[in-house]
Chains A and B, each alone.
Chain A
Amino acid sequence: MFVRNKWMVTLLVALLVVTLITGCGSKSASKTPESGEKILTIAAITDPGTGDVQLTTEEYLIPLNIYDRLVEAVTTEPGKSELVPGLAEKWEISPDGKVYTFYIRKGVKFHNGEELKADDVLYTFDRMLDPKTKALNTDFLDMIDGAKERMEGQADSTRGMKVIDDYTIEITLVEPFAPFIACLSTPAGSIYNRKATETAGLDFGVKPELTIGTGPFMLTDWTYNDQVILSANPDYFRGKPDIDKIVTKIIPDAETQRMMFEKGELDAFDCDNARSQIPYFLKSEKWKDHIVSGPRVGTYYYHINQAVKPFDDVRVRRAVQYALDRQLLLDTLYYGTGTIAKGIMAPGLAGYNPDLPGFPYNKEKAKTLLTEAGYPDGFQMQITQTVDSPSTLKLNEAVQAMLAEIGIKVEIVQMDEAAWFGTRREGKLPMYHTNWSADFNDPDNFIYTFFATKNSVARSFNYGNKHVQAELERARTMIVPEERYALYRELEETIVYEDAAWIPLFHLNHLFVVQPRVKNFKVSWNGWSNMPYYEVRIEE
């Protein structure tokens, strides 16, 4: 028996040595790409889960690259966007703003070789509204006539959509909805192929070979939690993309991502994942010329729950608005990469109002307001956040210290995401910090999202100004853009300055660092981490 044991130990040691040796030896072998293939390697913190855009409201990496939309929002310059024809060559809107006619581009092929027809568009949108799909992105289409009945299961099809001929589709809305075209340009408006999608069934968006679109890339390989591979579509109607492959590695740890980038194992590093590295990259001789920065059409803010005492008192809310030294926070935590926010809407958004006064840091004023409200010695409150968000924690801890200076004792409560979002949805979350970036370029996407009656409860604002809320509904149906924007500006001022229902913080830039070989890498107009890579080039 001892012989066996001795051999076992020897064997194990030998095995170990062999693993180490072969390991070191073959290190370079697997990294070498096949001859001359241009591969863009990027990283994601979590696996996107599904490529079916109707079933997700935020995992847009795959949809933005493998599907096309009737209308596309393209980035004209950092922070600016423009709606251009996509799969629809052109469209017409009836004078009452209710009937939209789209003329589909001819000769566009899906990845499976099928030609795009008007029926595919009808199918795609109807699938979204079909309750069996369990779609989460219906908000972008629920203004279509008959959508409600379809979603509630009272109809087998959507009344407001009609195929005129193979290349023409007519969509009727219940009421005029000014941002409808913009809505269709969001990833949620991606067009599927009827035949392929029906065949795939539940596996659509999951099995690469069954997930079919018209886009510049095709989903070719997906190992859950490891990597997603998109390959160039040689028959793309705008021409084959320059890069042959996008490899998205799923790397949950931001420090690991950074080291891989530094070593050249990744082509782009998203600084949103590790803001602390920004000063390093800005100073580094090697990297400072390879930083791609773009403003984000988005706002970082603190939310206030008016149902939580003492925040039912407008003076207390205003006191907090003045108690934050935004410039100090921006400089120390975000290294000055952004601008101070003064309202809800962000620069670059249609209707943005640059003339708001803002909230200069004023500790004395904050204290006076608190005293007036009957809290000369401050009070206890909670700020909540999710557990795995170190960047939010940093801001919260800094704000905790700032509020302590006016006597408000803050307790930072960390909840796991499900509990946090669940409590928020019930309207019970005390105070939190987060940010919002534009889905589509319209004030509706900002103000309605937060302050419309139902939304304000679901986001725990519990904002109760009935006049503002009625006006928000009315603004949706207005047709003349200038009048709409003027109304939104007015509402924004009421919400932020009169009702003090919102604590604006910053508009932060989105920074990426890319390897020198990556060219034409642009931050999307809205500043999302997920972006289309069609125009990115690689030069060795």
Chain B
Amino acid sequence: MGRYILKRILVSIPVVIGITIITFYLLNVVPGDPVVLMMKEHISPDVLERVKAEMNLNDPLYVRYMKFIWGALHGDLGRSYKLKRDVADLIVEAFPNTIILSFSAIIIAWGIGIPAGIISAVKQYSFIDNFFMGFTLLGVSMPIFWSAIIMQYIFGLKLNLLPISGFSGPEYIIMPAIVLGWSSAASIARLTRSSLLEVIRTDYIRTARAKGLMEKQVVFYHALKNSMLPVVTVMAIQVASLLSGAVITESVFGIPGIGRVCVNAIQNRDMPLLQGSVMFTVGLVIIGNLVADIAYSYLDPRIKYD
């Protein structure tokens, strides 16, 4: 197992480096630089050129990239161009907020998805199946910003139950978590449903049934136990898609998370900040996948990694 983890980590290194090279290259081939963006309407050609030179922005691309990598290897991600802050500080500040959001969203996604999946599996093709699958699908069928604004209007403004935006207490996380969680509940429900269906068809469930066990017992004691495996592990794999959704959720609900940091960094051509936050998010996704695989092999002894 230890060797397997080590191998996976080694394989991930080129992935992370590749991604930083791609983002670095892509955002540098188009016109525009961070300084012109800091000056905006107050553009003054002389000032612009002087500051760019002072910031070493006129160096060739590969030199700037190597400088970044060199710094990163020494644990220094540099300072954000636009925000003048230490990139590491910004990430450390924003990151927990995104984690809180994502985990609450996962809980919601499970809370909606698993029961819906179970019900629709045992009542396949019935009205209840359609109803629950329809409900979870509703979540993926609305753009996040759209469902967010409607929820803000109803629960925030009209019913006055929840704060509309911000991040200053546990109640602030409820609406964003529901919006984000609902949008990924469908995949959990589908997975639960299909793996439950699969298990129900297997021999030992038939045997259990043949033995005369009650249906409820069959479903809960035998089938569910075995079908939860892929569902549990899919959570880690979902990290990437949750982070995508978090970008929009964070900006609609004003949550100071890593998604907004990334978007701002892309918009501002703030390369140190972008590289830092991208490395971080990508690392997170990779770790998520790794954890999923390990959890899988731990939960299902049939799978062995070498």
Hey, which bits of chain A sit against chain B, CB under 8 A? 1-2, 5-6, 8-9, 12-13, 15-16, 19-20, 22-24, 26-27, 29-31, 46-47, 49-50, 52, 55-58, 131-132, 134-139, 151-152, 202, 205-206, 223-227, 249-253, 255-257, 259-260, 262-263, 265, 416-426, 434, 436, 439, 454-455, 457-459
Contact = CB atoms under 8 A, between A and B. Distances in A.
Given A26-B169, A30-B169, A421 B251 contact: no
Contact of B254 (A29, A56, A253): A253
Given A2-B221, A224-B85, A224-B90, A131 B54 contact: yes
A136 B163 contact: no
Given A16-B107, A137-B42, 10 more contacts: A2-B225, A24-B162, A26-B169, A58-B41, A223-B93, A225-B264, A226-B166, A253-B145, A263-B157, A421-B37
Contacts of A202: 79, 84
B161 A24 contact: yes
A5 B196 CA distance: 14
Contacts of B193: none
Interface in B79-102: 79, 82-85, 90, 93-94
What size tier do the contact residues of chain B reach? 35 or more
A416 B267 contact: yes
Contact of B268 (A6, A134, A251, A418): A418
Interface stretch (B25-33, B65-73, B203-211, B284-292): B25-33
Nearest to B118: A9
Contacts of A419: 30-32
Contacts of B233: none
A265 B163 contact: yes
B44 interface: yes
A417 to B, nearest CB: 6
Interface stretch (B12-20, B45-53, B132-140): B45-53
A136 B51 contact: yes
Nearest to B251: A252
Given A49-B82, A57-B42, A425 B163 contact: no
B256 A224 contact: yes
A151 B251 contact: no
A522 to B, nearest CB: 23
B110 interface: yes
Nearest to A131: B54
Contact of A418 (B36, B170, B261): B36
A418 B32 contact: yes
A221 to B, nearest CB: 12
Contact of A252 (B44, B221, B254): B254
A224 B93 contact: yes
A330 B51 CA distance: 39
A249 B166 CA distance: 8
B156 interface: yes
B43 A225 contact: no
B228 interface: yes
Given A46-B264, A136-B38, A458-B44, A22 B170 contact: yes
A434 B42 CA distance: 12
Nearest to B53: A131
11 contacts: A19-B170, A24-B161, A55-B38, A227-B166, A251-B166, A253-B251, A259-B165, A417-B37, A418-B33, A458-B48, A459-B43
B40 A421 contact: yes
A249 B163 CA distance: 13
A23 B38 contact: no
A255 B149 contact: yes
A256 B254 contact: yes
Given A139-B42, A202-B79, A434-B41, A16 B111 contact: yes
Given A16-B107, A55-B84, A421-B37, A134 B51 contact: yes
A132 B54 contact: yes
B45 A417 contact: no
Nearest to A255: B149
Contacts of B30: 418-419, 422
A454 B37 contact: no
B180 interface: no
A457 B45 contact: yes
Contacts of A255: 149, 152
- Most chain B beta-carbon contacts within 10 A, residue among A19, A26, A423: A19
A50 B171 CA distance: 30
Contacts of A265: 163-166
B83 A50 contact: yes
Contacts of B165: 249, 251, 253, 256-257, 259-260, 265
A424 B43 contact: yes
Contacts of B164: 256, 259-260, 263, 265
Given A2-B225, A252-B260, A24 B171 contact: yes
Interface in B241-287: 251-254, 256-257, 260-261, 264, 267-269
A47 B34 CA distance: 16
A465 to B, nearest CB: 19
B37 A224 contact: no
Contacts of A227: 166
B152 to A, nearest CB: 6
A344 to B, nearest CB: 15
B37 to A, nearest CB: 5
B107 A259 contact: no
Contacts of A223: 93, 256
Contacts of A252: 251-252, 254, 260
A256 B162 CA distance: 13
Nearest to B153: A259
B267 A418 contact: yes
Contact of A139 (B41, B47, B166): B47
A138 B48 CA distance: 10
Nearest to A418: B32
A460 to B, nearest CB: 10
Given A419-B31, A422-B31, A16 B108 contact: yes
A303 to B, nearest CB: 12
B104 A19 contact: yes
Contacts of B47: 135-136, 138-139
A23 B174 contact: yes
B119 interface: no
Given A26-B169, A58-B42, A434-B41, A250 B50 contact: no
B136 to A, nearest CB: 15
Given A26-B171, A27-B171, A436-B41, A425 B36 contact: yes
A58 B32 contact: no
Contacts of B41: 57-58, 434, 436
A263 B165 CA distance: 11
A191 B267 CA distance: 31
A26 B162 CA distance: 10
Contact of A6 (B45, B51, B220, B253): B220
